[in-house]
Structure 1
């Protein structure tokens, strides 16, 4: 049976594990990052045209800080359906989804005609700069780095062993930073071990650090969402077994 490694942080790792198991795919989790809330000051809601959310972790951090009520009256522009759903469950009343990538979100914001300012609670480490992306449109963005995703210092020994001896057939990678961390933590793998490992990536941008680290058995999801990642995993597993 095919065995896969889920690298995303909790609680999302457990959700992915459950979905893989429902597809009859054996899987283990080794989250490569842990979310840490940053105690930064937040701006008052007065004057903002909308809230922009690019991850479920931003929603979780706002919930942890018990500040949802302060911003719940503002419309929310979410990068994807999952983030939009989490925002609604957290208490935001008017939520729309760009149903795609960061680029789709930028385009969706441009189509709204909003000039801002927009409140953008996000991570300390960002893969893209929303303020810079929207500046040509004349849209003002107030960015608040409210959480950090801290990398683990090392992979568990059983996981490293499974990667080295081929017991783990594939790795699910959801973010560019996760890919960078994985590449750094697996420097002990030789070239044949890297080339034999299936790397199932959310997007081309996510895959690039793995290509740079000589992982070349890379597959990309059709869309940047969990449904597409599960379809990718199922296709990989069927190809492995010939079914």
Structure 2
């Protein structure tokens, strides 16, 4: 049993280590690399809180050496991992929606903050937070602080393993990662696509893979790393029994 982790670093190695602790061998092939962008950042004055939907935003704020500028603001994070990273970076008042974007929107609505909110985000976003909060009358100021740049090709050993059955399952955490994988693995034959298990964080993540004729797809119960590890362990056990 060998799985392929497609997450960017350092998360890819973290997931591989967790798989190893479960007795599952894993290769890591990040399909994107983070680049911190030199965009203009607004002053902290006037914001009621900061919103974070990715640990990559925290890392980019650290790269820009601007955490101290915003550290006094309450932070509303989409999930526990992003919240933990924000706390480690130096933000003192951090809360987690413990879910996906919809959970974060609900948490912001219940918080009564009203806005304006500062949202350091990635260049490519699967959903529009400002649009989602508009019906609640909450203004969002978005700064594209990082970009996740797609790799040009899968490493040759990884592509060979995918072609010849050396990898049993691929862990896919985002829709954009799924789109990139479907493109880079476009040369796989029909048999390989039908036999390769795709372990996806959500239905939205799985959609580009289904469109690319990867038919053996499983979904995590929740959009977080713990659920992905449970999915991987369940798949491994099922294969051992079969």
The count of residues paired between Structure 1 and Structure 2 equals: 242
What TM-score comes out, normalization by structure 1 length? 0.99
Task: Extract unaligned runs of 5+ from structure 1.
Answer: none
**How is 1:204-215 mapped onto 2 (pairs within 5 angstroms)?**
204-215=203-214
* CA drift at 1:174: 0.4
**How is 1:175-190 mapped onto 2 (pairs within 5 angstroms)?**
175-190=174-189
Structure 2 partner of 1:90: 89
**How is 1:136-147 mapped onto 2 (pairs within 5 angstroms)?**
136-147=135-146
What TM-score comes out, normalization by structure 2 length? 0.99
Structure 1 CA distance, aligned partners of 2:229 and 2:31? 19
* CA drift at 1:192: 1.4
RMSD of aligned Cα (Å) = 0.7
* CA drift at 1:165: 0.7
Task: Extract unaligned runs of 5+ from structure 2.
Answer: none
SS of aligned partner of 2:3 = strand
Structure 1 CA distance, aligned partners of 2:190 and 2:144? 38
Structure 2 partner of 1:71: 70
Which stretches of structure 1, 4 residues or more, deviate above 2 A after TM superposition? none
**1:173-200 Cα shifts (integer Å, max 9, x gaps):** 0000000000000110111110100000
**1:55-109 Cα shifts (integer Å, max 9, x gaps):** 0000000001110000000000000000000000100000000000011001110
Structure 2 partner of 1:42: 41
* CA drift at 1:115: 1.6
**1:42-64 Cα shifts (integer Å, max 9, x gaps):** 00000000000000000000001
* CA drift at 1:171: 0.1
SS of aligned partner of 2:152 = coil
* CA drift at 1:28: 0.3
